[in-house]
Structures are given as C-alpha cells and as structure tokens.
Amino acid sequence: MRQQAHSELISELLALAQEVAMRAGELLMVRPESFDINEKSSARDFATQMDHASEKLIVGALLAARPDDGIVGEEGATRTSKSGITWVIDPIDGTVNYFYNLPGWDISIAAKDEEDVLIGVVYAPTLNSLWHATRAGGAFLNGKKIHCGETDNLEESLIATGFSYDLAERIKQGSKIASMIPKVRDIRRNGAAAVDLCHVASGAVDGYFETGLKEWDLAAGGLIAREAGALVSGRRGQPVGEEMVIAAGPALHALLTLEIG
C-alpha cells in the first residue's frame, strides 16, 4: 500500500506540473508590446513583468491543488512546506532569450521531498518540447523515452555552456572557453540552463557546464539529465553547487571533469 501511495503521489505531482507548465507557456507566448524591467544583481540580470506573471500563475495553480506544499521560486515566491513536498520553480528560464524574442526559453517546475527531487518538468514552447522525468522512472521528451549521448572523446563533442552575470566571473569563463575550443567539436551558448540540461538528456548536445546555477535552474533539468543516464556533478566530481555544474554521459563527464579542473 505504501508503494502504491508513493506511485500515486508521483503521478499526481507530474500531471499537475505538466498542466501548469503548459498553462504558463500559453500565457508567455502572448508577448506584451513593451516590457517593464526590474534589475536584480546587475543590468545584465533582470526580470520582466512576464516573469512575475508566470510565477504568480504557477504558484496559484499549484497551491490551489495542493495548499500544504512549499514553494521556492526564482522571483521571490517562498513558502514552507507542511506536506513534505516543495515545488522549485523558474517561471521563465532564459529571460534574456524571452526579452529578445529568441527561442529556447522555458518554464521549469520540479517537486522535491526530504530526499531529493521527485519529478521535473521543463517546457519550451518555442521548441515544441516538453521534457519530464520522475525519480527512478526515466526521462522523456514529448512522451518518448530519451537517453543521453555516449560520446567518449572531446574532439567529437558538442558542448553547451552559459555565462555568469558577474563581470569578473565572465572573464574567467572566457579564458576557459578559449582553451576548450581547439579540443572539442564546437561550443553552444543556448541561453537557458534547464534546456541545456535537457539537451544533454536527449542527446542534442553531448555535455554541458556552467557556474552560478541556482536551485531553480537545476532542479527539474538536473533530474531529467540524470534519469536519461547522464552524470550531473560539481567540479572534480563533487556535489552540484553554484560553483560548477557538469553534465554529460559517464565517459565524457570524466573527460570534462579533468578538462575543467
């Protein structure tokens, strides 16, 4: 009975996250004529009224269905859980892409218990892509099971990355990219961490690394990548943290870990 109840909970959380992510996607696809911008850590790091509208929709829908759950949201929504379940939300992952009307931004919704992330949903409307995963249940893209690539050398690897909003950190990242370019097939900067992780999961890129990720950047996409067979770690194989995230299939992950140092 306990296992059945756990399975039913996962199914409930997943269905709710998918429904709410798609509703947020519908909201965001209707772009405003102008944007209200509020600066966060720097002029490069900002949110729009649509980030806030999306988070309001997501939080309202989740709590209407599950009023005792907790919330961690990028744009400030915080609520302590009474149920043991906490939702981790990025209402627009890739705000700069969204602002410039570039594809690849997404809505990222995860639910975690006291152990780890239970379910993850990443919805990228402009890519017609809905990724999801459940803990120990595999990863899927538009309902089809996916697995990360099996590249075992740097020379044939397409690597995704992102850049910090902090200028000093960007300079260090630029040096690292310069050293890597001669060693890999190519580098991609797509602009949304959750989608980068999902691209690793589905084999659209071979590996991904980035510094400065927050929990809402990583929760859903990280689970999807892991459930697709990728390793997701910090620098030198340490636990994931803001200092570094490295995601790739096992063989390439080992090489990237050595290369990034």
Q: Kindly state the tokens that stand for 124.
A: 């990228």
**8 and 111, same domain (yes or no):** yes
**80 and 205, same domain (yes or no):** no
pLDDT-derived band of residue 45, with 50, 70 and 90 as boundaries? low
Domain presence at residue 152: no
Q: Domain containing 240 — which CATH number?
A: 3.40.190.80
**130 and 210, same domain (yes or no):** no
The rounded percent of the chain whose pLDDT value lies above 70 is 97
Q: What is the pLDDT of residue 235?
A: 86
Please choose, from the candidates 81, 92, 32, 5, the residue with its C-alpha nearest in 3D space to the C-alpha of residue 57: 92
**121 and 179, same domain (yes or no):** no
Read off the pLDDT of residues 68-89 as tens digits, 9 standing for 90 and up.
999 999 877 789 999 999 999 9
Domain presence at residue 210: yes
The rounded percent of the chain whose pLDDT value lies above 90 is 77
Domain presence at residue 227: yes
Domain presence at residue 61: yes
**Cβ-contact 121, 17 below 8 angstroms:** yes
Q: Is the pLDDT of residue 55 over 60?
A: yes
Radius of gyration of the chain from its Cα atoms, rounded to whole angstroms: 18
Domain presence at residue 26: yes
Q: How many domains does the chain contain in total? A: 2
Q: What is the pLDDT of residue 3?
A: 78
**Cβ-contact 154, 255 below 8 angstroms:** yes
Q: Can you say how many angstroms the Cα of residue 27 is from the centroid of all Cα atoms in its chain?
A: 20
Contacts for 158 with CB less than 8 Å, ≥ 6 apart = 184, 185, 186, 188, 205, 206, 207
Q: What is the pTM of this model?
A: 0.94
**137 and 173, same domain (yes or no):** no
Domain presence at residue 177: yes
**108 and 183, same domain (yes or no):** no
Q: How far apart are CA 133 and CA 117, in angstroms?
A: 10
Contacts for 35 with CB less than 8 Å, ≥ 6 apart = 48, 49, 50, 99
Domain presence at residue 216: yes
Domain of 105? 2-145
**Cβ-contact 34, 67 below 8 angstroms:** no
Q: How far apart are CA 159 and CA 240, in angstroms?
A: 18
**49 and 92, same domain (yes or no):** yes
**Cβ-contact 108, 122 below 8 angstroms:** yes
Over residues 236-258, the mean pLDDT reads 89
**114 and 50, same domain (yes or no):** yes
Q: What is the pLDDT of residue 209?
A: 95
Domain presence at residue 153: no
**17 and 114, same domain (yes or no):** yes
